[in-house]
Amino acid sequence: MATDRFDAEGFYLALDSVRNARKLNWKQVANATKVSASTLTRMAQGRRPDVDSLAALATWAGLSTDEFMGYENSQESEQDTLGAIRAQFRRDRNLTPQAKKAIEATLVALYGQLSKEK
């Protein structure tokens, strides 16, 4: 079941990954999205963007805001997290099939070791 908790830090980190992949600086992101540089700075400090900024940034980056909503059920959250990450690696054209399998196996093992005990 979804909660009203938005993972602002996770959204910012995902946005930063897109920015890096596109080889842009934050000023260029601000210009492309029409989101103020001060909003981006506040986001870097852990603050949530307003809804219009969130929509503009998510659209620009091709991110679904649903992926950054909290879940109360930890089992559902674990499945969603691993599933989403696996899907991202499977779509990455820069990785060979063998590299994708190796990353996935490492990720699953590491997640299992570091996740909270149930």
- How many domains is the chain built from? 2
User: Does 16 share its domain with 59?
Assistant: yes
pTM of the model: 0.64
In the predicted structure, residue 53 carries a pLDDT above the cut 50: yes
User: Does 80 share its domain with 27?
Assistant: no
71 membership: H or E segment, kind and range: strand 69-71
User: Does 15 share its domain with 58?
Assistant: yes
For 87, phi then psi, to 5°, come to -60, -40
User: Does 46 share its domain with 88?
Assistant: no
User: Does 8 share its domain with 57?
Assistant: yes
What average pLDDT does this structure show over 35-53? 95
Return the beta strands (E) in the chain as ranges: 2-6, 69-71
What average pLDDT does this structure show over 68-83? 60
Give me the pLDDT at residue 4, please. Answer: 56
What's the chain's average pLDDT?
83
Residue 40: give its domain's CATH number: 1.10.260.40
If you search the block for the tokens 């940034």, which residue do you land on? 57
List the structure tokens of 111.
């997640």
Give the span between the Cα atoms of 66 and 43, in whole angstroms.
18
User: Does 56 share its domain with 28?
Assistant: yes
User: Does 50 share its domain with 28?
Assistant: yes
Give me the pLDDT at residue 73, please. Answer: 46
Pick the more confident residue, 60 or 108.
Answer: 60
User: Does 48 share its domain with 89?
Assistant: no
What average pLDDT does this structure show over 66-73? 68
User: Does 63 share its domain with 82?
Assistant: no
Kindly provide the b/e burial profile for residues 107-116, where b requires at least 16 CB atoms within 10 angstroms of the residue's own CB.
Answer: eeeeeeeeee
Q: Find the domain containing 104 and state its range.
A: 73-114
List the structure tokens of 31.
């210009």
In the predicted structure, residue 116 carries a pLDDT above the cut 80: no
Give me the pLDDT at residue 84, please. Answer: 75
Pick the more confident residue, 78 or 70.
Answer: 70
User: Does 47 share its domain with 28?
Assistant: yes
